[in-house]
Amino acid sequence: MTRKEVIEHAAQMVQATDLVPEKAEGDTMKLVVFGANGPTGQLLTKQALAEGHAVTAVTRHPEAFPLRHARLRVLHGDVFDRLSVEEAVAGQDAVLSTLGVPYSRKPITMYSQGTAHIVWAMNRYGVRRLVSVISSGADRHPGLGGFFFRKVLQPCFIGVVGRTLYADLKRMETLVGNSNLDWTIVRSSGLFWTPAVTDYQAAERSIDGCFTSRADLADFMLRQLTDEQYLHKAVATRSGTPNFYVFFWKEGISKKPSSSKGVPPQGHSRCNAPARVIDQ
Ligand SMILES: NC(=O)c1ccc[n+]([C@@H]2O[C@H](COP(=O)([O-])OP(=O)(O)OC[C@H]3O[C@@H](n4cnc5c(N)ncnc54)[C@H](OP(=O)(O)O)[C@@H]3O)[C@@H](O)[C@H]2O)c1
């Protein structure tokens, strides 16, 4: 799948995810989303808009960003460029990050350098709340995961294929943890699509379960803006687990934007939450 196809597919899935506005006007905030153009970032932006927030979506490809809204500012920015981070953060109430890069054998520094710029800008402009996603793979908790995770996924993906990525996530986590901000780090794994928010779970540090729905992850990040339970903590999330083989088939092997036609993929977990509609 080319990068263009991945972006188009993500946009179709975002359009197919229904939301309803929930918040009264007085509860709304000015939010900046880094990584807004990724699959989770687009959903997060859409959910935030649906709740009445004003959103600054930061992307290196503003022309490819699929959402338009009166309360949405799409800003060209690269987190390696401190000035563009500064421009995005100035005047905001909170920062949400779903930044991500693919595995690479070369050294990866996007998470740590980008986050260093974000933390610097937040300190400079007095923005306190930071909610960042990292992969649960960055936490080598000895009891984490089942046999497959410990014996296959961890040695192969975390120890070899993703070694440089997880090393940088670890640096980022340390950097955020040592900051004086009001931070929460969300550790997720196995992101997949559901057409609405489901009855997901969260727990401090780690949780049994390898999958989180992107809609649930976005919802959980937004909930942290008004919930202090996980302030200064890393928290793991889990959604109803899709069939393992269906997950790998749909997310890894057979994913084709032309066949999805704007509807969510089959094989996702059942959703307990009512469907939502966005006010776009
Ligand atoms: N996929 C999974 O199963 C999985 C599992 C566990 C955790 N996670 C984590 O969950 C988060 C979201 O994952 P995702 O799959 O939704 O998104 P993603 O594809 O990893 O990418 C998020 C976005 O980050 C942006 N980005 C990358 N480098 C940047 C830079 N230098 N400056 C500004 N923006 C930059 C890119 O947008 P532009 O190119 O438009 O700038 C990209 O679309 C990531 O942190 C990922 O590590 C994912």
pLDDT top residue among 233 and 161: 233
Residue 15: name the closest of 268, 262, 255, 257 by CA.
Answer: 262
Average pLDDT estimate for 126-144: 80
198 lines ligand 1 (CB under 6 A): no
Residue 98: name the closest of 72, 132, 64, 61 by CA.
Answer: 132
pLDDT top residue among 193 and 88: 88
Domain spanning 3-253, CATH class? alpha beta
Q: Which tokens go with 53?
A: 């927030």
Q: Which tokens go with 29?
A: 């905030």
Q: Are 235 and 212 in contact (CB under 8 A)?
A: no
Q: Where are the domains of the chain?
A: 3-253
Would the pLDDT of 204 be above 70?
Answer: yes
Angle in degrees, CA 200, 204, 206, rounded to 5: 80
80 lines ligand 1 (CB under 6 A): yes
pLDDT top residue among 76 and 136: 76
pLDDT attached to residue 16: 62
Q: Which atom of ligand 1 is nearest to the CA of 132?
A: 45
Would the pLDDT of 152 be above 70?
Answer: yes
191 lines ligand 1 (CB under 6 A): yes
pLDDT attached to residue 116: 98
CA 254 – CA 55 distance, rounded (Å): 33
151 lines ligand 1 (CB under 6 A): no
Global confidence as pTM? 0.82
Average pLDDT estimate for 24-30: 78
257 lines ligand 1 (CB under 6 A): no
User: What is the distance in A from the centroid of ligand 1 to the CA of 38?
Assistant: 5
User: What is the distance in A from the centroid of ligand 1 to the CA of 99?
Assistant: 4
Lowest average pLDDT, out of 101-115, 230-244, 253-267, goes to 253-267
pLDDT top residue among 11 and 66: 66
User: What is the distance in A from the centroid of ligand 1 to the CA of 97?
Assistant: 9
pLDDT top residue among 56 and 277: 56
User: What is the distance in A from the centroid of ligand 1 to the CA of 35?
Assistant: 5
| Band (108; pLDDT cuts 50, 70, 90) | very high
237 lines ligand 1 (CB under 6 A): no
Average pLDDT estimate for 41-66: 97
Would the pLDDT of 21 be above 70?
Answer: no
Which residue has the CA at smallest separation from atom 1 of ligand 1?
Answer: 191
133 lines ligand 1 (CB under 6 A): yes
162 lines ligand 1 (CB under 6 A): no
Average pLDDT estimate for 113-129: 98
Q: How far is residue 132 from each of residues 71, 163, 177, 183, 262, measured CA to CA in Å?
A: 22, 20, 11, 8, 28
Test site for ligand 1: of 99, 165, 268, most ligand atoms within 8 A of the Cβ? 99
pLDDT attached to residue 240: 75
101 lines ligand 1 (CB under 6 A): yes
Given strand 94-97, what is the order of strands in its sheet?
A: 72-76, 54-59, 30-34, 94-97, 129-135, 182-188, 233-238, 201-204
CA 147 – CA 1 distance, rounded (Å): 30
Average pLDDT estimate for 49-76: 97
Mean pLDDT rounded to a whole number for the chain: 81
Average pLDDT estimate for 48-61: 98
pLDDT attached to residue 161: 79
Q: Are 158 and 137 in contact (CB under 8 A)?
A: yes
User: What is the distance in A from the centroid of ligand 1 to the CA of 63?
Assistant: 17
DSSP 38-61: SHHHHHHHHHHHHTT-EEEEEES-
